[in-house]
Amino acid sequence: MNEVKPLLPIEDLVSMVESGTQLAIPKDESGPAMAATRALIRHGVRDLHLLCAPVCGLQADLLIGAGCVKTVECGAIVINEIGVGPRFREAVRQGTIELRDSTCPAIHAGLQAGEKGLPFVGIRGLNGSDLLKVRKDWRVMDNPFGNGGDPVVLLPAITPDIFMFHAAWGDRFGNVWIAGRRDLAYVAHASRKTIVTVEEIWDGDLLADEKMGPGSLSSVYVTATSHVPHGCWPLSLQRRYPEDFEHIKEYAALARTDAGFAEYMRKYILTEQVAA
């Protein structure tokens, strides 16, 4: 018999993210927990090691602009097609955050090593990259199974403290439906805790459903869930609602300056406002 897990209020969910946490967040199309992000900012968290898995946008830029982030590890932080996140760009220029520059394949590989319990993983694609000059935690060695002349870059496994995302469905047993977003599965597998906001509550056991089961993440990998309708806004949720591009443009315009970002914070963060 499956054990029923109580749904938490969103404030209790985000309180699990303490200052200094290594927090993993997904790419924009995989379900960022935007309502939880706004709650997290209001909660006053600081000194996060933010891991983008592997490229993020508005969610990461908001956390950086709000002063929640000490270190960011990412392939990139880009707002839609508009360009580099303005608060991220300014923080790098001012030196107020530590940038651990990476690539999408490197982050994917590190997380996949983490989910398998491996201490490191080897990849070839970084050979010759300038990143090897700045990432002192990466190592180069010759392939021990080759005949020499085959350098491989070794990356440490990535095991985030907490992974946070938004999903279309969750059930009373703590399972969540992630559809075809397998990146959500392996980041959850690699993380010590996973917290999820869900759009709707599924009536029954997702894993026991013939159609929903293959696209569901087991409660074994989910620490806690919260029911938060429209929890991705202003970003999109798969097959549910599109992104609010006008709002995203408003953010990108305001966030170019400190004063504009402060205005955005007053309007949309400090007092929660969500489109219907």
Task: Give domain status of residue 50, yes or no.
Answer: yes
**Together in a domain, 101 and 224:** yes
60: helix, strand or coil: helix
AA identity, residue 204? G
Query: What is the predicted pLDDT for the residue at 82?
Result: 94
**Cβ–Cβ under 8 Å, residues 87 and 255:** yes
Q: Judge whether 110 lies within some domain.
A: no
Residue 274 clears pLDDT 60, i.e. is over it: no
Residue 276 belongs to a domain: no
Residue 131 shares a structural domain with residue 230: no
For residue 27, being part of any structural domain is answered with yes
Whether residue 163 sits in one domain with residue 152: no
| Residue 148 pLDDT level (bands cut at 50, 70, 90) | confident
Q: Of the candidates 156, 85, 155, 157, which has an alpha carbon nearest to the alpha carbon of residue 117?
A: 157
- Does 137 share its domain with 59? no
Can you tell me the distance from the alpha carbon of 75 to that of 26, in angstroms, rounded to the nearest whole number? 12
Co-location of 146 and 256 in the same domain: no
In a domain, 274, yes or no: no
Percent of the chain exceeding pLDDT 90 equals 91
Instruction: Judge whether residue 3 has pLDDT over 90.
Output: no
Task: Identify the domain containing residue 145 by its residue range.
Answer: 120-156
Helix (H, G, I), strand (E, B) or coil at 24: strand
**Does 203 share its domain with 241?**
yes
Asked whether the predicted pLDDT for residue 197 surpasses 50, the reply is yes
Mean pLDDT of 151-170: 97
Instruction: Report the pLDDT value the prediction gives residue 272, as an integer from 0 to 100.
Output: 66
Which tokens belong to 195? 């917290």
Q: Is residue 114 in some structural domain? A: no
User: Do residues 130 and 50 both lie within one domain?
Assistant: no
Model confidence at 275: pLDDT above 60? no
Q: Do residue 228 and residue 95 come from a single domain?
A: yes
Q: Is 241 left (phi over 0), alpha (psi -120 to 50) or beta?
A: beta
What pLDDT, on a 0 to 100 scale, did the predictor assign at position 276?
43
Cα 199 to chain center, whole Å? 17
151 and 164 together in one domain: no
Number of domains in the chain: 2
| Rounded Cα distance, 182 and 217, in Å | 9
2 assigned to some structural domain: no
Q: Which of 95, 129, 156 is the last residue of a domain?
A: 156
Quick one: 142 and 180 in the same domain? no
Assessment of whether the complete model's pTM goes beyond 0.85:
yes
Are 73 and 187 part of one and the same domain? yes
Residue 245 pLDDT > 60: yes
73 in any annotated domain: yes
Q: Is the pLDDT of residue 243 over 90?
A: yes
CATH of the domain at 217: 3.40.1080.10
> For residue 159, is pLDDT > 50?
yes
75 and 150 share a domain? no
- Distance, CA of 73 to chain centre: 11
